[in-house]
Amino acid sequence: MAEELAFARKASGLVRGLSMRDCLGMGIAFIAPLYSIWFIEQVGLGLYPRANVPIAILISVVTVGWAAPVVWGILGSTMPRSGGEYVYNSRIIHPAIAMGASFAMIAAGFYWAIFNASMFASPSLAMLGQYMGWTGFADYVGTNAGAFTLSVIAMLGGLLLVIFGMNVFHKLAWIAIGVMCGGVAILDIALTFTSKADFISNWNAQAAEHGSLTYDAFLAAAGTAAGGAMPTSWTWSDTLGITAGVYMIFVWTFALNYIGGEVKRPDKVMIKAHILSLGIPVALCLWAFLALGRIMDFAFLRAAAFQDFNGSVEGYALPYPPHVMSLAYVASGASPIIALVASLTFAITMVWLCGVELIVIQRGMFAWGMDRMGPKWFTSINARTASPIGMYLFAAAISVFLIAGYWYLFPSVLTGVVAGGMQVCSGILLTAIAGIVLVYRKKVKHIWDSSPFHEWKFLGIPVLAIGGIVYLGYTIALLWFAFGDPNTRDITGRKAIILVAVWVAGMLWYLLWKLVSRRQGVDVAKLTYSELPPE
């Protein structure tokens, strides 16, 4: 009778229809190169102005660039189910800990959904109005009403991308790649085919048109605002510190593991898709910063990042922030084509990422339901589309409510960079540990022995363990630079209580549903966590 009550043991209803090509497309699109480049410039250089970005990218390539794909790829092949890190951590470490981490990952998913939707308004469409001189439109985007309306439109756009199932979504992924990667390539070309003299001349022309600071005056004013001259050379400390920004272009392929139950040959696809997905986005990012370093002074790019991050340079009057998109726009001589490419690439990227977050949120909660850690409707799949339509609507509705809160009700709770911290502390850190533990813990030896990669060794050590150690070391360093370093602790440290509260809520959720199952005559420890969820 107890086993009959364990509804979580039924087939999932998801369909294994994704090929290597499909996963590669979604992996590249999940990274969203333009957003990653902008984040590195604004947040990374805003906090660590003495960083050498190309070197920081190469350091990440030779560390997390292979370690993360190894850990996520091997775990996804060993336990090929949808739900991401929750599935692995609940079997390898402990279900209560896994639930705390998964709660944090899903909370972070909602945070990112809010931010991505809001960035559809600004900077995406706001910059179009600013570049084109559409002051009425730009002013409207800058109001709460305008930003809220556009944010909701972005979220609904993301919902439409996913609600018809993965068969539609994976086809749209290649269109998204064409726009997101093609748009960045065009901006990189604009930066590449401009000389330093032409860039300075173009900047000064824009400054004269808008009554703003010339190239040299802006550089001096930024130093005054920062309390000291902008740096003219890089240091190793800041170069290592900017991993708190560079990681954005290396970690997002973990979203592939949330759809692991829909991959045709996970043993052959998962690890390859993770590795290959990084190639194009990393190349585009490296190209962008090499081009930026060629056409402007080291100090000037740091001044631009300072203004973009802080907005406090007195006398700066250009109608747009000096982020990487604007620098490409200036480099092109204020070309309306570059204006359209920059704005629409960023806007489409944000809508796409809204869809990605809905997938991550739903698949995480779906995995809970499959383990009796939530109501039965968490596992509801529409038979015609093989899509969890109801859960997507549920997640989108919560996101719209939070978007309203972001613009009108409780903005202080929803601001800051706590989302990234939640994911690093929870999903990334714990999954790195799980990769190491799987190799050596006797309780899960049967899982590791069944892995197609259990014989992969280097100098007698399982490759998964080596990757997990490198990934863990990178993550610990990242956490220090994101939370402990003096440059960041005042920004992120004060929000740490949110992370603790979400973890506690997740563990209490586990205990609640364990009690519910026990009253129904089901021992989840024996019937659920002793096996993987069905396909």
Distances (CA, A) of 402 to 105, 115, 117, 140, 362: 16, 10, 11, 21, 16
Phi, psi (degrees; rounded to nearest 5) at 228: 175, 155
- How many of the other CB atoms lie within 10 Å of CB of 85? 28
> Which CATH number does 2-527 carry?
1.20.1740.10
Give the chain's radius of gyration (CA, Å).
23
The residue-averaged pLDDT of 182-196 equals 97
pTM of the predicted protein model: 0.90
The first and second tokens of residue 529, run together, are: 């966590």
Rounded to whole angstroms, the Cα distance separating 271 from 435 reads 14
Is beta strand 457-458 parallel, antiparallel or unpaired with respect to 461-462?
A: antiparallel
Residues paired with residue 458 on neighbouring β-strands, in sequence order: 461
259-288 residue pLDDT tens:
888 888 888 889 999 999 999 999 999 999
245-262 residue pLDDT tens:
888 888 888 889 998 888
378-422 residue pLDDT tens:
988 887 877 899 999 999 999 999 999 888 876 655 555 566 777
pLDDT at 5 over 50: no
The HSE-up count of residue 118 (CA atoms within 13 Å, CB side) is 21
pLDDT at 8 over 50: no
The residue-averaged pLDDT of 41-70 equals 93
CB 17, CB 166: distance < 8 Å: yes
Sequence spans of domains, the chain: 2-527
pLDDT at 3 over 50: no
- The DSSP-derived string for 96-142 is HHHHHHHHHHHHHHHHHHHHHHHHIIIIIIHHHHHHHT-HHHHHHHT
Residue 294 in 3-state DSSP? helix
Look at the block and give the residue holding tokens 């100090």: 299
Distances (CA, A) of 243 to 237, 238, 247: 11, 9, 6
Residue 454 in 3-state DSSP? coil
pLDDT at 16 over 90: no
The first and second tokens of residue 108, run together, are: 């972070």
